[in-house]
Amino acid sequence: MNKNLSLAILLSGNGSNFQAIVDSIDKGQLKAAIKIVISNNKNAFGLKRAKKHNIKNLCIDHKNFADRESYDQRLIEIIEQEKVDFIVLAGFMRILGSNFVRHFPNKIINIHPSLLPKYPGLNTHKKVLENKDKEHGVTVHLVDEGLDSGPIIGFMKINVEDEEKENDLENKIHKIEHYIYPKILSEFQEGKITTAGNKIRIDDVFYKDGKEYFI
C-alpha cells in the first residue's frame, strides 16, 4: 500500500491515541488522512480534538438504537461512505458485533492496554498490580469476533516497578501506546505489514504472536 492511508477513528473518551495519530500525520511521519471520527459518547473529549483539527466528526449514541445489530448497521453505513482502508479503534468502549466485524475483514485495528492474551477486557492495570506482575504492556491487534482476541500485530513492554500505582502504569502505558499505534499504521501504509487470513507478515517475517516493538 503506497498511497496515503485513509482512516476512520472510533473512540469513546479522551482520545489521546487519536491525538497521537493526528500528530504523527502532522509531522509527516504517518502518511494518512483521517476521514471521520465517530464516538458513541457525545461528551467524548476526542470529538473536541477532532473539531479543533477540522476533522469530520459525529456522535452516534448507542442509546438511540434498539439493539447492537441496528447500531452496528448504522456505523457500517456511515463508514462505508468514507471508503477507508482501516477502522482504528482508539478507546472505543463498545463491543462490535459479528456483522460489523465480518463486514470489514482485516480492516479493524485495536489497541489494548495489556500484553494480550493476558487480561482482555477492562481494568488491566489493576489486574497487573493485583497479580504482582513484573511486566506489562500494550498490544495492537486486528479485531475479530471475540473480546480483544484477534491476531496480534505488535506489542511493547514496560517494567512494573515496586510501589507503582494504577495511575503510574496508565501514564507509562499511554506513552508507549502513542508510539506504537502511529508506527504500526505507518508500516501498513509503507506496505511493510500485510495480512492474509489471520496471518500477520512484517518485513517478510510471519508472526504468530506479534512483533515486539521498541522505542
Which residue ranges make up the site for ligand GRF (CB under 6 A)? 11, 13-17, 90-91, 111-113, 177
Q: How far is the CB of 80 from ligand GRF (least distance, A)?
A: 24
Residue pair 139/210 in contact (Cβ under 8 Å)? The answer is yes
Q: How far is the CB of 156 from ligand GRF (least distance, A)?
A: 11
CA distances from 170 to 133, 137, 177, 207, 215 (A): 15, 10, 10, 27, 17
Q: Which is nearer to ligand GRF, 80 or 170 (CB)?
A: 170
Alpha carbon distance 38, 42 (integer Å): 10
In one-letter notation, the amino acid at residue 33 is A
Q: How far is the CB of 133 from ligand GRF (least distance, A)?
A: 17
Strands 199-202 and 205-207: antiparallel
Q: Which is nearer to ligand GRF, 73 or 175 (CB)?
A: 175
From 112, 125, 136, 141, the catalytic residue: 112
Give yes or no: 125 in active site: no
Residue whose Cβ sits closest to ligand GRF: 91
Alpha carbon distance 8, 38 (integer Å): 8
Q: Which residues are catalytic?
A: 112
